[in-house]
Chain A
Amino acid sequence: MRVQPVRRYTDPRYPAASALDTHPELLRLLPRRWRSNSLVLAGLAATGGLLLAGCRPSWADTFEGELKVAPIFTHGDGRGAFGCVAVNPPVFLSEEEARGVIIEEAKTAGIVFETDVLTLPEVRVPETTENGSVLPDEGEEPRTKVRELKLDGTDRERRISFEYVSQDDYEAWKADDGGPMSTVSSFDLIGTAKVLRDGLAVAHAAEDGTVAVLYDPMERYLEDTDQVAGGVDWQQAEKDAKERAKAQLRKQVKGFIEWLKAEGVI
């Protein structure tokens, strides 16, 4: 066994004590027991702790919302690679293609997703790499960075949202150091979705809500690599793969709907 320095550690999502300088109203939140204890209240008053009770609405109550996060509904590998040894690369569903599928499938349950509704100010988003898995080794922490996250769709009335992890997201969230150079570019969208899910589970939200992280299933061009021997119509293969991917994505949405029902959200 050796001493193993931690190379990177994402700043935890709770503040340092210096936050009290700008948000002293945090201390106006009182444990229930204290509220009816005259000695404690007198002590707090004497030390200035209750003088804050009249402060304007602020940080202490801005992000009190409970964000319930659905599990990942695993339909589709969500992994694949391009490059010298990748003989059967994946196709990607764009954000737009995926949104169409998700909106359509959600409508069957009466959920109406709109875009540009909900932005979460600070979410622990995974840092991606083109060389390997986004998921950490057993016992390690995933590489993440706190970013603003505009969710891809929200039903305003029911406060149900989704975030679709796409190739574009994967590129946008790439780690600064990018990892080692390689002739193969690999994508781990399902791992990205899992880490993002955990980040959303501790994210602050202004209101209660429910959110699911969906991901590009990354179907391969060919269902069977033996097809290569007989010649391949690559355009048709891409179309077919996208249809298969859409079907998998539809299953993810169905899974989300069933979960919403089980949770009593819809």
Chain B
Amino acid sequence: MHLTLHLTARCNLRCRYCYAAPHAGGDMTPEVLRAAIDMAVAMNQRERPGLSLGIVFFGGEPLLRRDLIHQALAWCREIETSTGQLFHYKITTNGTLLDEEFLTSPETRDVFVAMSHDGLRESHDAHRVDAAGQGTFDRLEPVIDRLLARRPYAPVLLVTNPDTVQYFANSVRYLHRRGFTYLITTPNYGAEWDERSLAELRRQYQSLGGWYYEAMMREEKFYFSPFEVKIGSHVRPGSCKAERCELGRTQISVAPNGKLYPCVQFVGDGTDDEYAIGDVFSGIDAEARWRLYAANGEEKESCAECAIRDRCNHYCGCLNRQATGRIDRVSPVLCAHERIVIPIADRVAERLFKKRNALFIHKHYNELYPIVSLLEDTSRARADMR
């Protein structure tokens, strides 16, 4: 289970596609923070006893409230000592405030860091701007070096927009060249995509198909989310649905004011009551939580006849909400995206399987691949130390 703490609604950037803007809603208080963790520990022990509880620091920009991060980590460690409850930690940041101290301090060095970055300067600076409207690409160049030196497996999160889609493939290549090996990309489903921009998106994915194939043939170890997820959805039928957004079931988002939501995309400024499922002091509204979960799991009428529905992200109520305002109304952009990406991912996978590419086969068919991969990373780290 994951507890996402929206430590603050404030952000030092003004990304033009941000679904959380306009950043009203203030900061979380220490009382809310502690109550949220206590509630999540109780839920986790009840629903998933023995399993680690994930704490995700989110915002706004969570590094604006580094003090709250330290308080949360200290409180979790106390709980760990007294109850044996295990924790793991993650932060999603825009990177501008990420410094050496955070990456190396004993208190925070276990925090898994995911950074948002849109790739090439043309793409990144078009949207990821500061309060003065200035692009942040240059500011992040040294941060990338710092981050990857301390966290070589840090994921990068890239969003592509209709007006920057022509840079998508080269942006992915750029981030990969810079050293990121976990590349998580998504279109901005809330943007106005038209036939022309979608045709460009198709061209970009086709180009990435060639890049992915060549990199796999060189046996480079990396993760490119759109292809991995879609290939996985064929290799392990049902995985797409099983791993869908759990809408409050295995993840809960806490707004700065303590209100609980089923996913980060619903939080906003914490005033929306339609999708709120309780608050940290009065507890979770179990009925609202399961009602939402069940509603999201129902097959969407518009997709009932679709031949690729089991491999599609239309189950993600959060994305639907972001694009259409309703969890049960599938976004036409999401639909178009899935129709583009699934055949391209399949063609790449067919070629790699035909070649009996060993890395491809282990990555997608060997359930123990994560362990073997970890062993490989460990041996590499040992060699580097020598």
Indicate whether B48 reaches chain A with its CB closer than 8 angstroms.
no
Q: Which residues of A lie under 8 Å from residue B339 when comparing CB positions?
A: 4, 6, 139
| Count of chain A residues with a beta carbon within 8 Å of a chain B beta carbon | 44
Known A-B contacts A4-B339, A6-B308, A40-B375; A17 and B365 likewise in contact (beta carbons under 8 Å): yes
Indicate whether B376 reaches chain A with its CB closer than 8 angstroms.
yes
Please determine whether B354 and A2 come into contact, CB atoms closer than 8 angstroms. no
CA A3 to CA B301, docked complex, whole Å: 11
Interface string of B334-378 (1 = CB under 8 A from A): 011001101100110111111010110110111110011001101
Known A-B contacts A1-B193, A6-B339; A40 and B379 likewise in contact (beta carbons under 8 Å): yes
Indicate whether A5 reaches chain B with its CB closer than 8 angstroms.
yes
Known A-B contacts A12-B346, A13-B350, A14-B350; A3 and B332 likewise in contact (beta carbons under 8 Å): yes
Interface string of A137-176 (1 = CB under 8 A from B): 0110100000000000000000000000000000000000
Q: Which residues of A lie under 8 Å from residue B385 when comparing CB positions?
A: none
Please determine whether A202 and B351 come into contact, CB atoms closer than 8 angstroms. yes
CA A34 to CA B372, docked complex, whole Å: 9
Please determine whether B372 and A14 come into contact, CB atoms closer than 8 angstroms. no
Q: Which residues of A lie under 8 Å from residue B366 when comparing CB positions?
A: 27, 49
Within 8 A of B (CB), among A220-258: none
Please determine whether A5 and B307 come into contact, CB atoms closer than 8 angstroms. yes
Interface string of A6-24 (1 = CB under 8 A from B): 1111001111110110000
CA A202 to CA B378, docked complex, whole Å: 36
Known A-B contacts A1-B333, A26-B361, A27-B365; A43 and B303 likewise in contact (beta carbons under 8 Å): no
Indicate whether B132 reaches chain A with its CB closer than 8 angstroms.
no
CA A204 to CA B354, docked complex, whole Å: 6
Please determine whether B361 and A29 come into contact, CB atoms closer than 8 angstroms. yes
CA A26 to CA B237, docked complex, whole Å: 19
CB-nearest residue of chain B to A1: B332
Partner of B336, one of A1, A26, A64: A1
Please determine whether B234 and A47 come into contact, CB atoms closer than 8 angstroms. no
Partner of B234, one of A6, A12, A26, A44: A12
Please determine whether B349 and A12 come into contact, CB atoms closer than 8 angstroms. yes
Indicate whether A31 reaches chain B with its CB closer than 8 angstroms.
yes
Indicate whether B219 reaches chain A with its CB closer than 8 angstroms.
yes
In the assembled complex, the CB of B138 is this many whole angstroms from the nearest CB of chain A, namely 35
Indicate whether A30 reaches chain B with its CB closer than 8 angstroms.
yes
In the assembled complex, the CB of B226 is this many whole angstroms from the nearest CB of chain A, namely 16
Indicate whether A60 reaches chain B with its CB closer than 8 angstroms.
yes
Indicate whether B305 reaches chain A with its CB closer than 8 angstroms.
yes
CB-nearest residue of chain B to A201: B351
Indicate whether A37 reaches chain B with its CB closer than 8 angstroms.
yes
Indicate whether A39 reaches chain B with its CB closer than 8 angstroms.
yes
Known A-B contacts A5-B306, A60-B356; A34 and B376 likewise in contact (beta carbons under 8 Å): yes
Indicate whether B242 reaches chain A with its CB closer than 8 angstroms.
no
Known A-B contacts A5-B302, A49-B368; A27 and B362 likewise in contact (beta carbons under 8 Å): yes
Q: Which residues of A lie under 8 Å from residue B303 when comparing CB positions?
A: 3, 5
Q: Which residues of A lie under 8 Å from residue B194 when comparing CB positions?
A: 1
Known A-B contacts A37-B376, A49-B368; A3 and B335 likewise in contact (beta carbons under 8 Å): yes
CB-nearest residue of chain B to A32: B219
Indicate whether B65 reaches chain A with its CB closer than 8 angstroms.
no
Q: Which residues of B lie under 8 Å from residue A9 when comparing CB positions?
A: 307-308, 342
Q: Which residues of B lie under 8 Å from residue A64 when comparing CB positions?
A: 356
Q: Which residues of B lie under 8 Å from residue A15 when comparing CB positions?
A: 235, 353
- How many cross-chain pairs have Cβ atoms below 8 Å apart between A and B? 126
Listed residue (A3, A9, A27, A42) with the most chain B CB atoms within 10 angstroms of its CB: A3
Q: Which residues of A lie under 8 Å from residue B237 when comparing CB positions?
A: 16
Listed residue (B361, B364, B367) with the most chain A CB atoms within 10 angstroms of its CB: B361
Listed residue (B305, B331, B354, B366) with the most chain A CB atoms within 10 angstroms of its CB: B354
Within 8 A of A (CB), among B264-305: 302-305
Indicate whether B244 reaches chain A with its CB closer than 8 angstroms.
no
Indicate whether B202 reaches chain A with its CB closer than 8 angstroms.
yes
Please determine whether B351 and A5 come into contact, CB atoms closer than 8 angstroms. no
In the assembled complex, the CB of A98 is this many whole angstroms from the nearest CB of chain B, namely 29
Q: Which residues of B lie under 8 Å from residue A107 when comparing CB positions?
A: none
Indicate whether A33 reaches chain B with its CB closer than 8 angstroms.
yes
In the assembled complex, the CB of A176 is this many whole angstroms from the nearest CB of chain B, namely 15
Please determine whether B350 and A12 come into contact, CB atoms closer than 8 angstroms. yes
Interface string of A29-67 (1 = CB under 8 A from B): 111111001111011100101000000000011011000
Indicate whether B42 reaches chain A with its CB closer than 8 angstroms.
no
Known A-B contacts A5-B307, A14-B350; A30 and B358 likewise in contact (beta carbons under 8 Å): yes
Known A-B contacts A1-B336, A3-B335, A139-B340; A16 and B234 likewise in contact (beta carbons under 8 Å): yes
CB-nearest residue of chain A to B302: A3
Please determine whether B340 and A14 come into contact, CB atoms closer than 8 angstroms. no
With A5-B304, A16-B235, A47-B371 known, 12 other A-B pairs at CB within 8 A are A1-B194, A5-B309, A13-B354, A14-B235, A17-B236, A27-B366, A29-B362, A39-B379, A139-B198, A139-B199, A202-B354, A204-B354
A-B pairs, 6 with minimum CB distance: A5-B306, A14-B353, A9-B307, A1-B332, A12-B346, A29-B358
A and B contact pairs by CB, cutoff 8 A, 13 listed: A1-B193, A3-B330, A4-B339, A5-B302, A14-B354, A19-B365, A30-B358, A30-B362, A32-B358, A44-B372, A47-B368, A139-B339, A203-B354
